[in-house]
A and B are shown apart, each in its own frame.
Chain A
Amino acid sequence: MKAMVAVKRVIDYNVKIRVRSDGSGVETAGVKMSMNPFDEIALEEAVRLKEAGTVSEVIAVSMGASACQETLRTALAVGADRAILVETDADLQPLAVSRMLSVLAKREEVSLLFLGKQAIDDDANQTGQMAAGFLGWPQGTFLSSLKVDGTHLVVEREVDGGLESLRLAIPAVLTADLRLNEPRYASLPNIMKAKKKPLETVTPADLGVDPAPRLKVLSLAEPPARAGGIRVPDVATLVAKLHSEAKVI
């Protein structure tokens, strides 16, 4: 069976973002971009299934500007067999991304569609669930463990109260949480080899999807900053302050 992995190009998680002063977006000039950390984990899981002989091919997909090719080359270096770029300059939102992913998953006849649980830029946590809805497939979200059991999957999910286990029929949509695995780094020889792996470019129109956003971002603002605090020299002062100044204990 084939696996598809959605990888998003985002501002690196170590960058402290800055909102443009006119509120039109965040500063991206000269800012380091990387693969969304959750997608690295999703990709690692798919590649491990291929190494285990469970999956025959891993297809990486990214959607957005042509620079997403870079993210796809990283995915190929980590172990994806081929890549698809859905190229557009539209402001892509989860509804359009999930619809296009579901079209591609059908076209490529994949059995497992992997995503990250959330993109660290929009923090939407929607795309996997919506793709599952469009495809009519079961969904295993926020996964911390995945096992293939013949025609089914046994997954463990991170939920508010602890962990939940489910059995899912294949085909299924899966979204990775942080503890699913520890993603590898691409080795230099594999980075070189990745340059020769196939990368196909398509447009939203090729997939029959209108990528226009349904949510209009009116403005972006910095959250109110916290007023600076003080250092206390010892525990006794801390307790006194919490008691009589902050009045929280």
Chain B
Amino acid sequence: MAQLVLADHDGVTLRPATLNTVTAALALGPEVHILVAGSGVGSVAREAAAINGVSKVLTCDDERYRHLLPEALAPLIASVAGRYTHVLAPATTFGKNVMPRAAALLDVAPISEISAVVDASTFVRPVYAGNALATVQSADALKLITVRGTAFDAAGTGAGSASLESVPAADATEGASWLSEQMTQSARPELTAAKIIVSGGRGVGSRENFALIEALADALNAAVGASRAAVDAGFVPNDYQVGQTGKIVAPSLYIACGISGAIQHLAGMKDSGVIVAINKDEEAPIFQVADYGLVADLNKAIPELIDALKR
């Protein structure tokens, strides 16, 4: 039997976390298939077929899957799941939304956001905002899993030559329709895939002053993140939030500016390679996880830092 990965995509390209999910699937067995559902998703299916290690791409190209609503997609997942030992999706808002619904249809206890594979039925997953790691064993014959992207390398692409198989659409549950979306446009790297992240918190002070964080990010070709307090105060959009309830990131360098270091924020970034904290309060808990701590006013330190980097 094989493992199935559910592709997360925007209709045109795969979301990068799909590649990390393929790596987790390959840790469970050599035969990995990908399900690409959507409307007009030929380009996504071709991209999926080129992922190293993927042997088959199931496609279901149908108008009802255009916005990947779980009311439509969960029955499709349930209809193909019988061919697999494991169905995996990235732990993105997409994967988290649809996988438990599919699990209910299949009467399976889903396993959320695994960070390691122990064996085919045993997995490690963070709980309590990452302050504990649970090793859990599933008693279900079929496993439905979401995968924490930062815990697995991205699968390579280009060497794969998977076959394509089209699968029939399934009956959707009625009652949900898509109205619109407001996606944040940015030329900067995507948060969960960035090598360097500069994050700002309440200490940045205002939306206008957040330009400082952005300027530092641009000097480092970095992505921009934020604490919940910065998002709640309207400095930046919601999708910048790093933490227990925002995005989980693990760049090689994370620079936290004006962020105190609440456990809910640490939950999203403490697996970063190197952590730098700039905070004017020397007692701030962020310094307990920082490799390099600078006690300073960010309004003075960040311009100096940008200057030094330009030199």
Chain A residues engaging chain B, CB cutoff 8 angstroms: 11, 13, 16-17, 19, 26, 93-95, 98, 117-118, 120-134, 136-139, 141-142, 144, 154, 157-169, 172, 177-179, 213-223, 226, 229-232, 234-236, 238-239, 241-242, 246, 248-249
Contacts of A167 in B (CB 8 A): 176-177, 179
For window 186-244 of B, CB contacts with A under 8 Å fall at 192, 196, 220, 228, 231-232, 237-239, 244
Query: Shortest Cβ distance from A121 into chain B, in angstroms?
Result: 6
Contacts of B238 in A (CB 8 A): 144, 158, 162-163, 179
CA separation between A94 and B110, bound complex, in Å? 9
Is B274 in contact with chain A by the CB < 8 A criterion? Answer: yes
Query: Shortest Cβ distance from A170 into chain B, in angstroms?
Result: 9
CA separation between A29 and B252, bound complex, in Å? 38
Query: Shortest Cβ distance from B7 into chain A, in angstroms?
Result: 14
Contacts of B180 in A (CB 8 A): 164-165
Q: Closest B-chain residue to A144, C-beta based?
A: B238
Contacts of A124 in B (CB 8 A): 112
Set A98, A118, A165, A230: member contacting B292, Cβ < 8 A? A230
Please list 13 pairs of residues, one from A and one from B, whose beta carbons are closer than 8 Å in the complex, sorted by A's number.
A120-B128, A120-B244, A121-B128, A130-B100, A138-B173, A141-B96, A159-B239, A161-B184, A168-B175, A177-B245, A178-B245, A216-B138, A218-B135
CA separation between A124 and B136, bound complex, in Å? 13
Query: Shortest Cβ distance from A136 into chain B, in angstroms?
Result: 6
Contacts of A241 in B (CB 8 A): 292
Query: Shortest Cβ distance from B131 into chain A, in angstroms?
Result: 5
Asked whether B105 lies within 8 Å of A133 as measured between CB atoms, the reply is: yes
Asked whether B184 lies within 8 Å of A238 as measured between CB atoms, the reply is: no
Query: Shortest Cβ distance from B207 into chain A, in angstroms?
Result: 16
Query: Shortest Cβ distance from A215 into chain B, in angstroms?
Result: 5
Asked whether A160 lies within 8 Å of B134 as measured between CB atoms, the reply is: no
Query: Shortest Cβ distance from B107 into chain A, in angstroms?
Result: 8
Q: Closest A-chain residue to B219, C-beta based?
A: A249
Instruction: Please judge, given known A-B contacts A159-B239, A162-B238, A221-B133, whether A126 and B71 are in contact too, CB under 8 Å.
Output: no
Asked whether A129 lies within 8 Å of B293 as measured between CB atoms, the reply is: no
Contacts of B100 in A (CB 8 A): 94, 98, 125-130, 133
Asked whether A160 lies within 8 Å of B239 as measured between CB atoms, the reply is: yes
Contacts of B304 in A (CB 8 A): 235
Asked whether A133 lies within 8 Å of B126 as measured between CB atoms, the reply is: no
Is B102 in contact with chain A by the CB < 8 A criterion? Answer: yes
Asked whether B245 lies within 8 Å of A242 as measured between CB atoms, the reply is: no
CA separation between A121 and B244, bound complex, in Å? 11
Is B76 in contact with chain A by the CB < 8 A criterion? Answer: no
Set B70, B105, B127: member contacting A122, Cβ < 8 A? B127
Instruction: Please judge, given known A-B contacts A121-B127, A169-B175, whether A242 and B111 are in contact too, CB under 8 Å.
Output: no
- The digit string for B106-129, where 1 denotes a CB below 8 A from any CB of A, is 011111110000000010001111
Set A130, A131, A214, A239: member contacting B305, Cβ < 8 A? A239
Asked whether B109 lies within 8 Å of A95 as measured between CB atoms, the reply is: yes
Asked whether B71 lies within 8 Å of A138 as measured between CB atoms, the reply is: yes
Query: Shortest Cβ distance from B284 into chain A, in angstroms?
Result: 12
Contacts of B139 in A (CB 8 A): 214-216
Asked whether A248 lies within 8 Å of B183 as measured between CB atoms, the reply is: no
Contacts of A130 in B (CB 8 A): 100-101, 103-104, 110
Set A165, A214, A242, A249: member contacting B140, Cβ < 8 A? A214
Asked whether A231 lies within 8 Å of B293 as measured between CB atoms, the reply is: yes
The 6 closest A-B pairs by CB, nearest first: A133-B104, A169-B175, A214-B109, A129-B100, A138-B175, A126-B100
Contacts of A132 in B (CB 8 A): 70, 101, 104
Is B174 in contact with chain A by the CB < 8 A criterion? Answer: yes
CA separation between A229 and B96, bound complex, in Å? 35
Query: Shortest Cβ distance from A225 into chain B, in angstroms?
Result: 9
Query: Shortest Cβ distance from B135 into chain A, in angstroms?
Result: 4
Asked whether A26 lies within 8 Å of B132 as measured between CB atoms, the reply is: yes
CA separation between A165 and B263, bound complex, in Å? 30
Asked whether B136 lies within 8 Å of A216 as measured between CB atoms, the reply is: yes
CA separation between A130 and B181, bound complex, in Å? 24
Asked whether B175 lies within 8 Å of A137 as measured between CB atoms, the reply is: yes
Contacts of B247 in A (CB 8 A): 160
For window 265-311 of B, CB contacts with A under 8 Å fall at 270, 273-276, 287, 289-296, 301, 304-305, 308-309
Contacts of A120 in B (CB 8 A): 128-129, 244
Q: Closest A-chain residue to B251, C-beta based?
A: A248
CA separation between A153 and B311, bound complex, in Å? 55
Is B37 in contact with chain A by the CB < 8 A criterion? Answer: no
CA separation between A38 and B139, bound complex, in Å? 29
Q: Closest B-chain residue to A226, C-beta based?
A: B289
Q: A120-B129, A223-B130 are in contact. List 15 more A-B contacts (CB 8 A).
A: A17-B132, A95-B108, A124-B112, A125-B96, A126-B103, A126-B112, A161-B239, A163-B181, A165-B178, A165-B181, A178-B228, A217-B134, A220-B134, A229-B287, A238-B276
